[in-house]
């Protein structure tokens, strides 16, 4: 689980298209969490001299992207109608904050962004009528859908809201305690072929997509696990 404190936040921004999607993670560290983050980079990837340099941030960037790609490929986090067969992960990008650099002890806010790209081997509408996401329980999520897709219902999203705009519908809220969110959808009738009868796709019971998934935050950033906090503070495990 994520640390329940104001000095750390994690949010998800998912943009779904007909032919693929992107999932952007934004991690923010402030106060003592920014110190711990720099301490991890300096001690585990750098020369442990109390200062994070550009080359140490570059190593963290490379390591983060590699681990993120490995986790997504190993632990499927997107399925359409209960299957990931038609979804291919194509790459991961990152945008590391300049505030990562500097003395380990400074408490400037760090905002890092990571983005994973996927392609659909067939158009989304051809693959099914529901899309499932596995995220970090309790974290904020925004899911944007293409303008020719209509949201029928959602599951697993607390405080959910659905807004419509010129570019399509936007679903926002928080992943619930399971970390599993489902959006049931159908083609928007405005985009159906002329003369085609408007038929709603029945919403079927969601297949169980439950799987073991350790915190992606802890996997990518071991500096925020209990083990690393123990190492930094010099304490033993409780």
Of 137-141, 165-169, 215-219, 222-226, the range with the lowest mean pLDDT is: 222-226
Is residue 47 within 8 A of residue 140, CB to CB? The reply is no
pLDDT score recorded for residue 6: 59
Residue 158 reports pLDDT greater than 70: yes
Percent of the chain with pLDDT over 90: 66
Is residue 41 within 8 A of residue 147, CB to CB? The reply is no
The ranges assigned to domains in the chain are: 8-233
What is the distance of C-alpha 190 from the center of its chain? 31
172 pLDDT band (50/70/90 cuts)?
A: very high
190 pLDDT band (50/70/90 cuts)?
A: low
Closest CA to 215 of 158, 162, 139: 139
Give the residue carrying structure tokens 């001299």.
Answer: 49
Of 95-99, 107-111, 130-134, 208-212, the range with the lowest mean pLDDT is: 208-212
pTM confidence score: 0.77
189 pLDDT band (50/70/90 cuts)?
A: low
Q: What is the mean pLDDT of residues 117-139?
A: 95
DSSP 133-184: EE--TT-EEEEE--TTEEEEEEESEEEEEEEEETTEEEEEEEE-TT-EEEEE
């Amino acid at each position: 689980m994520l640390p329940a404190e104001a000095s750390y936040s994690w949010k998800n921004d998912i943009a779904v298209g007909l032919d693929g999607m992107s999932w952007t993670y934004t991690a923010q560290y402030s106060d003592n969490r920014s110190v711990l983050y720099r301490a991890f980079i300096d001690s585990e990837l750098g020369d442990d001299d109390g200062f994070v340099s550009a080359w140490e941030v570059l190593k963290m960037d490379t390591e983060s992207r590699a681990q993120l790609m490995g986790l997504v490929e190993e632990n499927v986090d997107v399925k359409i109608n209960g299957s990931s067969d038609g979804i291919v992960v194509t790459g991961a990008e990152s945008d590391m904050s300049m505030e990562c650099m500097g003395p380990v002890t400074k408490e400037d806010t760090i905002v890092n962004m990571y983005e994973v790209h996927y392609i659909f081997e067939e158009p989304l509408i051809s693959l099914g009528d529901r899309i499932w996401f596995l995220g970090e329980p309790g974290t904020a999520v925004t899911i944007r859908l293409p303008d020719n897709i209509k949201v029928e219902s959602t599951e697993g999203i607390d405080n959910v809201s659905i807004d419509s705009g010129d570019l399509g519908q936007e679903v926002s809220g928080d992943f619930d305690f399971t970390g599993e969110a489902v959006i049931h959808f159908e083609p928007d009738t405005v985009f159906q072929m002329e003369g085609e009868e408007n038929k709603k796709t029945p919403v079927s019971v969601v297949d169980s997509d439950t799987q073991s998934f350790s915190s992606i935050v802890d996997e990518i950033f071991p500096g925020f696990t209990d083990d690393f906090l123990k190492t930094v503070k010099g304490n033993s495990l409780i």
